[in-house]
Structure 1
Amino acid sequence: MRNPANVMEAHGNTCCFSEASFNRLQVMMKDRVMPESSHLFWEGDTADKLFYIKRGRVKVTKTTDEGKELILYMYQSGDLVGQADPFFGTKHSFSAEVLEDSDIGVIDHTDLELLICQHCDFAIDFMKWMGSHHRITQTKFRDLMMYGKPGALCSTLIRLCNTYGEPHGDHILIHKKITHTDLSNMIGATRESVNRMLSDLRKKNAVEYDNGMIVVKDLEMLQSVCHCELCPREICRI
Structure 2
Amino acid sequence: MADYQVVNETDAENTIFENEWDKLWTNHFRAREVIDIYQDHKDAIKECLRVAKYQLESTFGGANAQTNEIGWMPILPNFLLALPAAATATYATATWNRYITTANVTTRWNDWIIGADAGSSLKMTKYGTMIIIGFADPVEEPKIDGILAKIKGKEYPIWAFGDQMSETDWHVYELPAPIIIEKEQEIYLQALAGRAGLDKLRPLGVFFAKGDYMRNKTAYAQV
TM-score (norm 1): 0.25
Q: Which structure has the larger Rg?
A: 1
Which has the larger share of strand?
A: 2
TM-score (norm 2): 0.26
Which has the larger share of helix?
A: 1
